[in-house]
Amino acid sequence: MNKHTTSVIVMAIALVAAPRFAGATKYLVQVGGSCTTGGGQATLYAAGYTSVRPWVDQRNNISTAAANLAQAMNTYCTGNNSCVIATHSHGGAVVSKMFAMYSNNWNIVQVTNAGSSAGGSELASISTWVARVFLGCALADDQTPTNYRGSWNHNDTNGENIYNLSGRKDDYYNATAPFLPGGNDGAVAFHSSGAFVSSWSISNLCSYQGYHWQGNYVYGTTCDGEDATHSSISGTAQYLGWDKHPNAFR
Amino acid sequence: MAKQEANKRWAVVVVTAAVVGIGSHLAFCAGAGDPGAPASAPADEPGEQLFSSPSRAPVLSRDRRTAFRGVRPSGGVRFVNTLANYRKYAIYPPTSRPLKHESLDLLLWNQRYERFRPTRNDPSLSFRLSADRFWVTGEESINATLQVRRAGKPVTVEITRSFIGDDARSPGTDVAARVPVTFRRSGGAYVASFNPSALVHPERGAKLGLYVEFDSGASARQRAKIMFNYTPPGGIPARFTGAFREAIDHGSLIIYAQVEVARAGWYLIDCNLWDRLDNPVAWTRFKGNLSTGLQEVPLLFFGKVLVDSKSIAPWHIGELRGGLHVPMEDPDVDFMQPFTGSYRTSKYDLAQFSNAEWDSAQKRKKLQLLREYEDDPNAPKLPVPGGPAEH
């Protein structure tokens, strides 16, 4: 075999073996909670990833937010680019709704949800005033378990790796405890952050095995829940160490 | 006979839901922990549940904190393997998967989730306002119930106001839009039945709120509200005609449901499949564009799901429902009248279906993505919870 043929073969092998997504941009997409709009500076970082906080309007209704996020997925997570998504609170609900409503062929590696309200929060049922104090703004009224569990199919997540974190401490001196069944982080109960099929009172995340939504869920929390409140688990920043800018990486 | 079979099937579903619900409620009331759980997930559960033991969350070691920043400590830390998880999940396609008795949200797809909660001024008094459905379509009626209790016993109250409005968030801004609803006492509760199509007239899907204010005599008045997703008769975008046909395609069963589409667009349609003994077998979901006129919606029940179910045909469908996605609206689905009938398939031998795992260009692309991610030492990996770092 001459040198020319050999080099052609080597090049061919290299082309076939080369990572398909190599050289493309890897994004860390950050989605906050109720009342946030996104945009602006991201606060989560990972080496080799470009951090973004896309515009996701979570002030009025989840439909708008899901549409905004789907648009962001089209921008960042297609072609040879890929995405890791990190959400907090209502951001988990937005991601869940987006997967269910849209045709998703996005290059998503994983989704990390911290204190997801995809299953709703009983605080939204108390009164408009209470809901808005504890859950945010006008969108707070919508976040009842019935409205959120009934509005979309939570089992349709396109098989994305979804890593759920559930906090077990609350920020509100137990003021919300009478309204949240079972373990909770002061705003969201385990039945939601733990992705269970119903809004039961659950104090042990390891119970009711098999009674979870049928997505590709991984539970990043021990059976008792994380030693965190709804706000301290936000964005997984401190938990996962994604809060240091690459320039300060150590 | 069909009705008796359906009733028997629903009895099993409702009893399952009740047993689990009562169990969790008792645990909550007693302050006891939930029933003991195994330390690891059942073998057939998709994804990887990595609970170590029912213990307190671990204090993160220095090695773990370092690991989270993408630096591999010398001791090693177990990370979630996204590639392995996805492989385990993706033996079936995302929208055609096994249906189990535990899939209560898919079986009781239109249930509500209100709970008893304490009144504002008297914690010993608790109440629940609920109804028999969440999605209300066309000329369907709503049956609502208000229960008020003290120490588990019904309490007599005076309902001072009750009305519905199609502006669920701000009824006070348009008093004229409020339509009175009358509750009557029935047993230990208060019930109301009403037909929204006779009372409110939105042009398309709308949030409908039911508002109730009651006075128990011993405390200040208590207010409650619940919401519905209502599609008026004129807003129904398509209808199931009741015509079906079936075929085996690439080793999977496809049941084609005929629909008459008035408004073209992106449709989301869900359906369950049951076997001849009324055991749940599979669920499927169609997401796609439908043009106006008579169309067929392919309800794909993946071959391997059927084979693995070891169920006995003929099968029959149930809980066929869905609607048109209207992005950025609230609600963002104009619902079709759910199909309350059924369709029974031919009698099949499971050997007629393929036992092959799901394969598609989408799946292969995802596997490639996850391979590269797992091989990337700097990628933000997710730690396995619980226990000390492995050495």
The verdict on residue A4 lying in a domain is no
Give yes or no for B47 touching A (CB within 8 A): yes
Domain, as residue range, for A117: 34-248
> Nearest to residue A128, comparing CAs of B215, B149, B211?
B211
> Nearest to residue B251, comparing CAs of B185, B216, B302?
B302
Q: Are the beta carbons of B114 and A147 separated by less than 8 Å?
A: no
CA distance B238 to chain A (A): 18
The verdict on residue A14 lying in a domain is no
Q: Are the beta carbons of B17 and A198 separated by less than 8 Å?
A: yes
- CA-based nearest residue in chain A for residue B223: A127
* Contact present, A195 and A131 (Cβ < 8 Å): no
* Contact present, A46 and A109 (Cβ < 8 Å): no
ipTM, two decimals, is 0.88
Q: Cβ atoms within 10 A of the Cβ of B293, count?
A: 10
Which backbone phi and psi does B51 adopt, to 5 degrees?
Answer: -75, 140
Pick among B34, B45, B114, B136 to test the A interface (most A CBs inside 10 A):
B34
pLDDT at B235: 97
pLDDT above 70 for B361: yes
Q: Express each pLDDT in B190-216 by its tens digit.
A: 999 999 999 988 999 999 999 999 998
Q: Is the dihedral of CA A130, A135, A137, A143 positive or negative?
A: negative
pLDDT above 80 for B122: yes
A209 neighbourhood in chain B, CB within 8 Å:
37-38, 41-42, 45, 49
Q: Express each pLDDT in B249-305 by its tens digit.
A: 999 999 999 999 999 999 999 999 999 999 999 999 999 999 999 999 999 999 999
Q: Express each pLDDT in B312-360 by its tens digit.
A: 999 999 999 999 999 999 999 999 999 999 999 999 999 999 999 999 9
pLDDT at A135: 54
Beta-carbon contacts of residue B152 (< 8 Å; ≥ 6 apart): none
Angle B240-B253-B280 (CA atoms, 0-180°, nearest 5)?
75
Q: How many CB pairs under 8 A join A and B?
A: 271
Q: Express each pLDDT in A32-56 by its tens digit.
A: 999 899 988 887 888 888 999 999 9
DSSP assignment of B298-313 equals EEEE-HHHHHHHT--S
Angle B108-A146-A206 (CA atoms, 0-180°, nearest 5)?
75
The verdict on residue A180 lying in a domain is yes
Give yes or no for B135 touching A (CB within 8 A): yes
Q: Residue A94: which CATH number?
A: 3.40.50
Q: Which structure tokens are listed for B390?
A: 């492995």
Taking only residues 203 to 242 of chain A, the set having a beta carbon closer than 8 angstroms to any beta carbon of chain B reads: 203-227, 239-242
- What pTM value is reported for the model? 0.85
Total domains, chain A: 1
Q: Express each pLDDT in A140-170 by its tens digit.
A: 888 999 999 999 999 999 889 998 989 998 8
Helix then strand then coil, % of chain B, to nearest 5:
20, 35, 45
> Nearest to residue A211, comparing CAs of B26, B101, B49, B34?
B101
pLDDT at B42: 26
The verdict on residue A183 lying in a domain is yes
Q: Are the beta carbons of A157 and B94 separated by less than 8 Å?
A: yes
Q: Cα–Cα distances in Å, from B139 out to A81, B32, B196, B234, B269?
A: 48, 45, 7, 10, 21
Give yes or no for A153 touching B (CB within 8 A): yes
Q: Are the beta carbons of A21 and B372 separated by less than 8 Å?
A: yes
**Which residue segments constitute the domains of chain B, with CATH numbers given?**
96-105+236-351 (2.60.40.3870), 121-233 (2.60.40.1930)
The verdict on residue A133 lying in a domain is yes
Pick among A152, A223, A244 to test the B interface (most B CBs inside 10 A):
A223
